[in-house]
Amino acid sequence: MKKIIYKLTYLTALFAFIFSCDDVERVYYNDAAETVLSLSDDNLVLNEENAANEILTLNWTEPDFGFSAAALYSVQIDVLGGDFSNPQIISVGGAFDKTFTVEELNAKLLSLSMLPNEEGVASFRIKATLSEYQEIYSNTVNITVTPYSSLLDLSTSLGVVGSATPGGWGNENILDLPFYTTATTNVYVAYVTLRNGEIKFRNNNDWSENWGDDGADGTLDSYGANIAVSAGTYKIEVNFSSMTYTMEEYSWGIVGSATTNGWGGPDMMFHYNSFQDDWRTVVTLGDGEVKFRFNNDWGVNYGDDGADGTMEANGANIAVSAGHYLVTMNLNTQSYTMEEMDVWGLVGSATANGWDGPNDKFMPDFGINEGYYYISGAVLTDGEIKVRQNDAWGVNYGDDGNDGTLELNGANIPVSAGTYNITLNLAANPPTIAIHQW
């Protein structure tokens, strides 16, 4: 009896297998899939006093792709009349909403060259990505909005000049390294990278008012002796009330498994941004973790225990995904942001990493000079360079006439060994590059 049951069961299973081969559920992509965007307001005036308040919420519907799918979404922002070819982008993962604070929205609008304190129109849309071959965009929604200026005026006429600086003892193409105001009257601060040599302090890039140190004792002397310095990155503070100055090694950087040099460093350096009184850098990171630390040393370091953008001393490692980022660290608010963006870099046989990169990164001009990028203190060897986007050859510029005018896929630019300040102007048509040797 058991034997007969076994045979029947086997024949039933075989019969089911043979006749179920065509019984396959087919899934078809819905070409009509769409996501619809709506905004919580259509007319806004942004105010710096309410910078931390929530001001605008975006909501969008889930597309019907014809099957269950987990798409990734990003918010794109452009000015009215733009074509979203170079939008501000905010990735939101699988969420169907995004809420902006006043400060966050204002920063995005200023990055699009909207004018502070002037009414303008911004356009929003959603990009839904199912795969690299399946992307859809929402309807475009416009809002009338007036941003505010987030720029500080910490500038002064005081500067650092000398053989240890990029401009030497006087270079019409390179200004003195700037000092900035502080919270204390008559006290000024400069964050500088110097080489072996000498420095002095002067007003208005002119010698009519200048200060040195006759006794090498930290006292400011009008028309005093040159101050000898060693190569390094420094914070210089001058006090005209006490007629004294101090110099200390001072740098902030990013370290970690996601960086090129790993946990051992040297770190990827931050640059002081006087327009918002914070520290910023443009970096290319891999999958891994990072922290922020002072002077390439673990004595002072910051992580993020809550993964919420708040820095804690000796805090937890910060997990990051591979990409190109603008990283901002604010020591006043003990906070940081990491914003994915297209980055520009210098590549070539004259650079440290050769034609394969990673590239020496340009820093954007944070004074809302849209399209301007800078590298200060680029150390090059005899060889050639080009400019390219995102460490890849898809978008690259050279100089066919070696005249400072850039062409897409243009000729390599020859350079001699030295240290350079390089300015890239992508706002010009055609773009230009200015290369000045220290």
Are 68 and 9 contacting, i.e. CB atoms less than 8 angstroms apart? no
pLDDT tens string 321-361: 999 999 999 999 999 999 998 999 999 999 999 999 899 99
**28 band by pLDDT with thresholds 50, 70 and 90:** low
Nearest-CA neighbor of 128 among 178, 62, 179? 62
pLDDT given at position 334: 95
Please say if the pLDDT value at position 20 is more than 50: no
Bridge pairing between strands 312-313 and 318-320: unpaired
DSSP 413: E
Q: Do domains 37-146 and 155-249 have the same CATH topology?
A: yes
| pLDDT for residue 1 is more than 70 | no
Q: Which amino acid is at 140?
A: T
- What does the alpha-carbon distance between residue 49 and residue 117 come to, in Å, rounded to a whole number? 14
Find the range with the poorest average confidence among 56-70, 223-237, 291-305: 56-70
Q: Which fold has domain 344-437?
A: Immunoglobulin-like (2.60.40)
**Cβ neighbours for 288, distance < 8 A, ≥ 6 positions apart:** 256, 257, 258, 259, 319, 320
122/109 Cα distance (integer angstroms): 8
Handedness of CA 409, 373, 258, 294 (dihedral sign): positive
| The two three-digit tokens of residue 2, written as one number | 């058991």
- CA atoms of 271 and 280, how far apart (whole Å): 5
Looking at the domain that runs over 37-146, which CATH code has it been given?
Answer: 2.60.40.10
pLDDT given for residue 111 in this prediction: 80
Query: Is the pLDDT reported for residue 425 higher than 50?
Result: yes
In the chain, where are the structural domains located? 37-146, 155-249, 255-331, 344-437
Q: Once rounded to an integer, what is the mean pLDDT over residues 10-27?
A: 47
pTM: 0.71
| Domain 155-249 indexed as CATH 3.40.630.30 | no
Q: What is the pLDDT of residue 12?
A: 41
Predicted local confidence at residue 366, as pLDDT: 83
pLDDT tens-digit readout, 150-180: 778 899 999 999 999 999 998 877 889 999 9
Give the Cα separation of 361 and 119 in Å (integer). 34
**Residues 96/62, Cβ–Cβ less than 8 Å:** yes
CA distance 252 to 59: 38
